[in-house]
Amino acid sequence: MINNVPDTGAEISARRAWPPASASLLEAAIERAGLYPFFHAKFSMATRKIVGAEALARIATPNMGFASPAAYVELAERNQRIDALTYAMARAVAKHVAGFDGLPCSINVSPISLERVEFADLMAKAINDAGLECQQFVLEVTESRAIEFGVHAFETMSALRGKGFGLAIDDFGVGTSNVDRLRNFPFTEVKIDPAFTRLAMDEAFAKAALVSCVRLAREHGLKIVAEGVETQEMWDFMTWLKVDEAQGFLLSKPMQPADFKEMLKRD
């Protein structure tokens, strides 16, 4: 699944004229390499060094540059093309990750894909065909939309773990996410939603809830990643929480592959 790259001012203006998601454009993205990866660095809270990346993408449009992917993800889910879109994303990302010297990389996937047990084999093939190992990748299961895990989710997630993939519960603290999922599914990582963090910084109840969730995740041996760290205040709060890694504009913006590789050289 593809996630949003934050918009520039020019893109926000252009988006007002964007037509609805096009099925033909979706197929072009899947079949004719119309996906363009960006990479958002993940930083160690202990060293402030780059320790991973999240792969994001735009879909190329004929006349208007890059389109926001959210509508295309929903279209793919409705048209039963979300798996094909995810495999295409994995192939596009793997071409660039091969030059990241083993740096771990995250790719977003839809909970819908976890209902198909063959998803694990085909996802592994998309990675292995690029000459890479599944152990280099973490699959982030999106939590922001109200899609429940189906009856095959545990089986598929276990198969993915068996192939070496890490599994992250994304956007934790919003949507359908809850602590039961941490206990009942084989996740290796928790990503704290920035909205949850902002609320916790201003509201005592939310702060207590977040502290409790972080403690539970740590007790289960899960890595904890803070998303959307945009200010020094948020960084200091996450340091106090003792989370493992952070992403956000305070540290870095999403970058095209060449720019990301240059940043890695300087880090």
- CA 260/CA 53 separation, integer angstroms: 9
**How many CB atoms within 10 Å of residue 234?**
20
| Token reading at 176 | 């359908």
Per-residue model confidence (pLDDT) at position 10: 38
Query: pTM for the complete prediction?
Result: 0.88
Measured at the CA of 153, the angle between CA 178 and CA 96, to 5 degrees, comes to: 95
For residues 158 and 58, the model is more confident at: 158
Per-residue model confidence (pLDDT) at position 67: 72
Phi, psi of 39, deg, nearest 5: -130, 130
In angstroms, the Cα distances linking 195 to 90, 114, 118, 119 are: 28, 26, 34, 31
- CA 214/CA 223 separation, integer angstroms: 10
- How does the average pLDDT of the chain come out, rounded? 86
The CATH class that applies to domain 9-266 reads alpha beta
Lowest mean pLDDT among 38-52, 100-114, 133-147, 170-184: 170-184
For residues 140 and 196, the model is more confident at: 140
Q: What is the pLDDT of residues 14-35, one digit of tens each?
A: 444 455 788 888 998 888 878 8
Per-residue model confidence (pLDDT) at position 14: 41
Per-residue model confidence (pLDDT) at position 2: 45
Residue 170's closest CA among 8, 40, 15, 11? 40
**Which residues partner with 58 through β-bridges?**
36
pLDDT above 90 covers a percentage of the chain that reads: 58
Residue spans of the domains in the chain: they are 9-266
| Token reading at 138 | 């973490």
Residue 7 confidence class, pLDDT cut points 50, 70, 90: very low
Per-residue model confidence (pLDDT) at position 16: 43
- CA 19/CA 28 separation, integer angstroms: 16
Per-residue model confidence (pLDDT) at position 174: 65
Residue 146 confidence class, pLDDT cut points 50, 70, 90: low
Per-residue model confidence (pLDDT) at position 13: 38
Residue with tokens 């007790």: 219
- Spatial contact of 3 and 108, defined as CB atoms under 8 Å apart: yes
Per-residue model confidence (pLDDT) at position 260: 96
Residue 3 confidence class, pLDDT cut points 50, 70, 90: very low
- CA 95/CA 91 separation, integer angstroms: 7
In angstroms, the Cα distances linking 38 to 20, 93, 126, 150 are: 23, 9, 18, 30
Looking at residues 227-248, what average pLDDT do you find? 94
Residue type, 25: L
**Which residues partner with 142 through β-bridges?**
none
Per-residue model confidence (pLDDT) at position 204: 92
Q: How many residues does the chain have?
A: 267
| Token reading at 154 | 């545990």
